[in-house]
Every structure is written in structure tokens, then in C-alpha cells.
């Protein structure tokens, strides 16, 4: 039975999630773009994939912050400026996909299985600016010299969930701790999650929350028209 935590003590809740993950457990956490399921060890990631009925062809995301994105991702100055304008200046959530520095010491802390399931080809996905808890958890993990990996807290094909009580039973059954902050800020009828962009090619991988605003920023400020993924 998972320990359920509410009340928005962000620092304490982030510390609890990190402790659970470091101990091999699984956490369900509130994000502004929908609830997510997070782990660190190969056993935890296998539990997540099994519960989600997710293909191993689909990667997890790394729980990282802006500093880690700047260190890990290999991008030119223009692409970096785009990410900063969207996530910092305009304060929008965004999943950044880009080539990465595979020799970075934090990546070397990951179990090989977890690392292999966090990459796709030559790229790595880091979700940025997805809420106070998510930001605090990323900052805490990086400051302690470790990384976490995660995915949306839903069975594949059933759609993102914006309330803990709506998360699929299969996912909740594997959790050791649940952080319940109520309704996600970017809940929407279309059940969109984060917008995902490959900034090495400027290709849109997924049109998610705030997509229209993100596309407008890139078009108006950088003259970029997002290309749909094929």
C-alpha cells in the first residue's frame, strides 16, 4: 500500500520521493502537465514499464533541471535561446529532445538498463518547467549527484491523468509513495501532456499543452515553423 502525501510541502515531498527512488521504489508525483510515475533502479523502471504495458521501444524521460539541460544537451546557441525563451522567459512547460553528452558523470550513475531506456537513437528527453514539485525534485536529485527517470502515470493508450484518483489502478498498485496535489494546472479536455520538440532538427514530436503559445514564440521571435514528426 502506497504512502499518500498531500499538503504541498514541496521540499519535504521532493526529499521523500528521492529517498523512495534511491531505495529502489516507485513514486507517483504531481506535475503541472499531469501525474507522472518515477523511479531510478532497473527493477523500478521494469515495474513501471510492466504496469504501463509500455513498449521498451518508447523511452522514459530524465528528471532534470535547466542546468542539466544546458550541460547535457548538445545544441547551438540559437536552439538554447529558444528553450530559455519558452521555459524561463515565458514560463511554459516543455520536453526538450536533443543529442547529449554520453560521458556526462551523472549519466554514468544510471544503471545501464535505465540509461538504455532513457535514450532514443542519439537523443535524450528532459522535461523542463513542469511545476514546483517537479522542479524541486530535479534540483535535489542533481545536487545529490544522481538522476531519476519517469513517464506519465497511465497505462499506455489510456491518456494522461490530471488527478491522482484518476490514475489507473495498475499504476497505483506499484507505487511506494503518491504525492497528491490535486488537479494539474494544465488539465484540458483533449488530455494533452507536455509539448515535445527535438531541437536538433526543430521537429515537433508531440503537440501538447501550451503548444499554440510555444509555436507562436518560435514563429514570432525566431522565424521557426514547427515541422510535424513523421
pLDDT at residue 5 tops 90: no
Q: Which residues form the domain of 95?
A: 3-228
Is the Cβ–Cβ distance between 203 and 227 less than 8 Å? yes
Q: How many C-beta neighbours within 10 Å does residue 70 have? A: 13
For residue 159, give the C-alpha cell. Answer: 491518456
Q: How much is the mean pLDDT over the chain?
A: 95
pLDDT of residue 230: 56
The CATH number for 197's domain is 3.90.870.10
pLDDT of residue 2: 79
- Terminal-to-terminal C-alpha distance of the chain: 42
pLDDT digits (tens, 9 = 90+) for 106-128: 999 999 999 999 998 899 999 99
Contacts of 136 (CB under 8 A, 6+ apart): 10, 11, 14
Residue 54 to residue 227: CA distance in whole angstroms: 26
pLDDT at residue 163 tops 60: yes
How many domains in the chain? 1
pLDDT of residue 1: 65
Picking from 225, 154, 219, 228, the residue whose alpha carbon sits closest to that of residue 191 is: 154
Backbone torsions φ then ψ of 106, nearest 5 degrees: -70, -35
pLDDT digits (tens, 9 = 90+) for 17-44: 999 999 999 999 999 999 999 999 999 9
Picking from 126, 152, 141, the residue whose alpha carbon sits closest to that of residue 71 is: 126
Mean pLDDT computed over 183-195: 95
Amino acid at each position: 500500500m502506497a504512502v499518500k502525501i498531500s499538503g504541498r510541502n514541496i521540499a519535504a515531498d521532493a526529499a521523500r520521493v528521492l529517498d523512495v527512488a534511491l531505495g529502489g521504489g516507485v513514486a507517483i508525483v504531481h506535475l503541472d502537465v499531469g501525474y507522472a510515475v518515477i523511479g531510478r533502479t532497473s527493477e523500478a523502471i521494469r515495474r513501471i514499464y510492466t504496469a504501463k504495458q509500455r513498449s521498451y521501444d518508447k523511452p522514459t524521460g530524465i528528471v532534470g533541471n535547466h542546468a542539466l539541460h544546458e550541460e547535457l544537451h548538445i545544441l547551438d546557441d540559437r536552439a538554447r535561446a529558444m528553450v530559455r525563451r519558452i521555459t524561463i522567459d515565458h514560463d511554459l512547460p516543455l520536453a526538450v529532445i536533443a543529442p547529449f553528452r554520453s560521458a556526462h558523470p551523472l549519466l554514468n550513475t544510471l544503471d545501464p538498463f535505465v540509461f538504455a531506456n532513457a535514450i532514443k537513437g542519439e537523443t535524450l528527453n528532459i522535461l523542463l518547467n513542469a511545476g514546483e514539485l517537479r522542479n524541486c525534485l530535479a534540483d535535489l536529485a542533481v545536487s545529490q549527484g544522481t538522476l531519476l527517470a519517469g513517464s506519465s502515470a497511465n497505462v499506455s493508450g489510456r491518456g494522461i491523468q490530471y488527478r491522482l484518483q484518476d490514475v489507473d489502478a495498475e499504476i497505483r498498485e506499484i507505487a511506494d509513495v503518491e504525492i497528491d496535489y490535486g488537479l494539474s494546472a494544465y488539465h484540458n479536455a483533449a488530455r494533452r501532456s507536455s509539448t515535445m520538440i527535438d531541437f536538433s532538427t526543430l521537429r515537433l514530436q508531440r503537440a501538447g499543452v501550451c503548444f499554440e503559445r510555444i509555436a507562436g514564440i518560435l514563429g514570432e521571435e525566431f522565424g521557426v515553423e514547427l515541422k510535424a514528426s513523421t
